[in-house]
Amino acid sequence: MINDAVPQKEARWVVLVEAETCPRYEEDHRWQLVAKRAVPDGGRAAADELARKLAMEYVPREVKGSAGETPAREVFRVADGSWLVEVRGINAKKILCRITTAVLVHEGK
């Protein structure tokens, strides 16, 4: 059995942002990690707050918006605590994003 538990005082929290790579709904959805934000202080609570902020504000590169405006979106809090966001730009392009808090348990060289 693999023990991947990280002692709480050593936990390195991050927020992961995934975006779909096949944005048309008739295709299979595939996901790609597009952003990884470290949370240096504040532990899980700070990671959860950053994830919420990104769910409300993150704009994928493929979505065009008006200068200075955040594109329209639907934001869902999923039962596991992650976020599912549909972002819509002025070009009517829609992109799904998943935003998740995580603990880094291993980092190779």
Q: How far apart are CA 49 and CA 53, in angstroms?
A: 6
Q: How confident is the model at residue 59, as a pLDDT?
A: 87
Give the Cβ contact number of residue 100 at 10 Å: 17
5 CB contacts (<8 Å, ≥6 apart)? Answer: none
> Of 20, 39, 36, whose CA–CA distance to 28 is shortest?
20
Report the mean per-residue pLDDT for the chain: 85
- Of 34-43, 74-83, 90-99, the range with the lowest mean pLDDT is 90-99
In terms of average pLDDT, the best of 2-16, 34-48, 84-98 is 34-48
DSSP state at residue 71: P
